[in-house]
Amino acid sequence: MSSSPKIVRTVPALRAAIESLRSRKSTVALVPTMGALHDGHVSLVRLAKRRAARVVVSIFVNPTQFAPSEDFDSYPRTWKADLAKLAAEKVDLIWHPDVKAMYPDGFATRIVPEGPAIAGLEDRFRPHFFGGVATVVGKLFTQCRPDYGIFGEKDFQQLRVVARMAVDLDLGVKVIGARTVRERDGLAMSSRNVYLSPEERRVAAELYRAMKETRRRIKGGDDIQAAMSGGTALIEAAGFMLDYFEIRHAETLAPITSADDGPLRILVAAKLGRTRLIDNIAV
């Protein structure tokens, strides 16, 4: 039997709970999430447990990172199942504020990230996104004051943005990236995969195969641009509408011209029907 983690919904209650978690100078790791937890999130929690004595998971579907045309209202909310998963992992604390607790009346202060946040990848298609993410993660870090913040590599640009922000704003949090967890056929786990029809779900793993094939060609010495064009063709032939398929410097996300400009990362975003998928791999 697993006992239920403590759940707090207001900032004063959170402060008191964090104070008590830290009472024996315990280290604290925070896993920020929007709920709809899957095995990828569970792997973040397990990494957090290896790093710190205490683990806090936040569940907050953050309205400021969704454009009006996006899926804020329909974003999957699976509170009971999330709670069962976090209890099974013996998480110490769940921070589950409502929108008013996170953004009180008159809220007027935002973080505007630059550097990796304006690399011309996700920001080109979701210009509102990183401002919303940086603002809420900045708040989560100051609310929870964790020693570690754990983020999935699947949202690779987001990982680079929050890592940069933590350093730039002296937030005292070490940001740690966790490997992407994949389904058996290679599709990266994502809360939005539930939007895929059975036929789209079958095709979705082609994104990973195209990235792997492109990596194989680059590692084998092929011209980078030729390998990237080959990957683009594979993705489009599978039926995706491509937003971008790019190879970048893995730390700065700056464009690269040669395989020696590494470490390298291939990043992709593409729509399958109405579902937008993102993924990336190291080269």
Binding site for ligand PAF (CB under 6 A): 32-34, 62, 65, 133, 136-137, 155, 158
**From the CB of 137, what's the least distance to ligand PAF, in Å?**
6
**From the CB of 65, what's the least distance to ligand PAF, in Å?**
6
Instruction: Report d(CA 66, CA 266) in Å as an integer.
Output: 25
Instruction: Report d(CA 264, CA 281) in Å as an integer.
Output: 9
Helix (H) or strand (E) holding 234: helix 224-237
**From the CB of 278, what's the least distance to ligand PAF, in Å?**
11
Instruction: Report d(CA 183, CA 19) in Å as an integer.
Output: 38
Token reading at 92: 């110490």
* Residue among 92 and 155 whose Cβ is closer to ligand PAF: 155
Strand partners, 58: 32, 95
Instruction: Report d(CA 236, CA 217) in Å as an integer.
Output: 18
Preceding amide of 12 cis, omega within 30: no
* Residue among 62 and 232 whose Cβ is closer to ligand PAF: 62
* Residue among 66 and 231 whose Cβ is closer to ligand PAF: 66
Instruction: Report d(CA 116, CA 159) in Å as an integer.
Output: 9
Task: Identify whether 38 is a catalytic site residue.
Answer: no
Instruction: Report d(CA 143, CA 130) in Å as an integer.
Output: 19
* Residue among 47 and 227 whose Cβ is closer to ligand PAF: 47
> Active site residue: 41, 96, 128, 249, which one?
41
Helix (H) or strand (E) holding 192: none
C-alpha dihedral over 80, 62, 133, 122, to 10 degrees?
A: 90
Length of the chain: 283
Residue pointed to by tokens 């209890």 = 87
**From the CB of 155, what's the least distance to ligand PAF, in Å?**
5
**From the CB of 231, what's the least distance to ligand PAF, in Å?**
25
Q: Does residue 13 contact residue 97 with C-beta atoms inside 8 Å?
A: no
* Residue among 19 and 107 whose Cβ is closer to ligand PAF: 107
Active site residues per annotation: 41
